[in-house]
Amino acid sequence: MRVLLIGGAGFMGAPTARALLEAGHEVAVLSRGRRPVPAGAEALAADRRDPAALSAALADRRFDFTVDFVAYDDADVEGLLRVPCAALGRYVLISTGQVYLVTRQTDAVFREEDGDRPLTPEPPAGTADHAEWSYGVGKRRAEGALLSLRASHGVRGVILRLPIVQGEGDGSLRLWAWLERMLDGGPVLLPDGGRQPVRFVHAGDVTRAILHLLDHGPPRLAVYNLAQPDTLTLRAFLELAARAAGLTPRFVEVGWEELEAAGLDRSCAPYAGPWASVLDPARAAAEWGFACRRGDEYVAEVVRWHLEHRPEASHGGYAQRPRELVLADRLSAGRGLS
């Protein structure tokens, strides 16, 4: 089959392109041309926000299947799917569990139908919460555009909602942020003791899901969650990572109020706080027979990749490390742990 990947040169797109090529498919990658595409894939250069450039890249092209990794708002979806004289075939929109986190929540674990709840109020502009909220609301609008075109024009589209993605090649540095703290030998602050539930997904499982959809035809419904089947606490996840790295970190429980009083923001603790979604993957498991890997089945290989490809720069939150150590020592002394 002829497959088009939008944003197929990035963290999730490049491995998907390679897997598709290995399976014998023809692959084209549409991007702004800033990264090389995987060997064997055709490179199509265009800024998707430029209608003329997008039309020039896709006009008169025919694809059986399109996967869109970088649609962030309704204009992205509408602009792509309305390109004149382009046939994109079945369309997969890669979305996010953040669409649940911008709604009025009643449950900690989200099912697909929970994405239709009313929005929460917009946070103050310029805050970290506003950036996260805007991302989730934009993705929700992108989903809405696809669902509307699916209903009105028969677009054969499906939405895959993902939680935080773990994997080799992850440039977010969020896992590295924790590993670097463990590696420096100092105590590691853990908000609320790491009791927060987390449920991630491995990038390779996203690729497997895309290949499943390609091989099995359109699914029954329009929206599916993907996530590892097991829910861990953040501490349990970090302990898996530490064990894979051969480390024994000293975690120090801290409250969010104590972090704020010490002048520390949430970037010192990736995955902690209100912007990490926990998704229920039961629908894909029941309808496709598809299951992602458990956390303990993929963490070691992801940690190994991070240790073998140590970044030149730290995660942004690591700049706060000296203040973290001061706070950790004060908390430990106050609790008689030093």
User: Over 70: is that where the pLDDT of 336 sits?
Assistant: no
- Torsion, Cα 26 36 159 135, to 10 degrees, reads -170
User: Over 80: is that where the pLDDT of 335 sits?
Assistant: no
Domain ranges of the chain: 89-334
State both tokens at 70: 């970088």
Write phi, then psi, for 104 (nearest 5 degrees).
Answer: -75, 110
pLDDT of residue 34: 82
State both tokens at 17: 């392109």
Q: How many CA atoms lie within 13 A of 211 on its CB side?
A: 18
- DSSP secondary structure string for all residues of 266-296: GGGSTT-STT---B--HHHHHHH---PPPHH
Which of 140, 142, 147 lies closest to 103 in space, CA to CA? 140
In CATH, what number does 89-334 get? 3.40.50.720
How far apart CA 129 and CA 122 sit, in angstroms, is 9
**pLDDT, tens digit (0-9, with 9 covering 90-100), for 253-298:** 999 999 999 999 999 999 999 999 999 999 999 999 999 999 999 9
| 82 phi-psi bin (left φ>0, alpha ψ -120 to 50, beta other) | alpha
**pLDDT, tens digit (0-9, with 9 covering 90-100), for 98-148:** 999 999 987 789 999 999 999 999 999 999 999 999 999 999 999 999 999
Cβ atoms within 10 A of the Cβ of 293, count? 17
How sure is the predictor about 206, in pLDDT bands with cuts at 50, 70 and 90? very high
According to DSSP, the β-strands at 223-225 and 157-162 are parallel
State both tokens at 8: 């197929």
User: Over 80: is that where the pLDDT of 338 sits?
Assistant: no
State both tokens at 285: 């498991």
**pLDDT, tens digit (0-9, with 9 covering 90-100), for 3-55:** 999 997 788 999 999 999 999 999 999 998 888 899 999 999 999 999 999 99
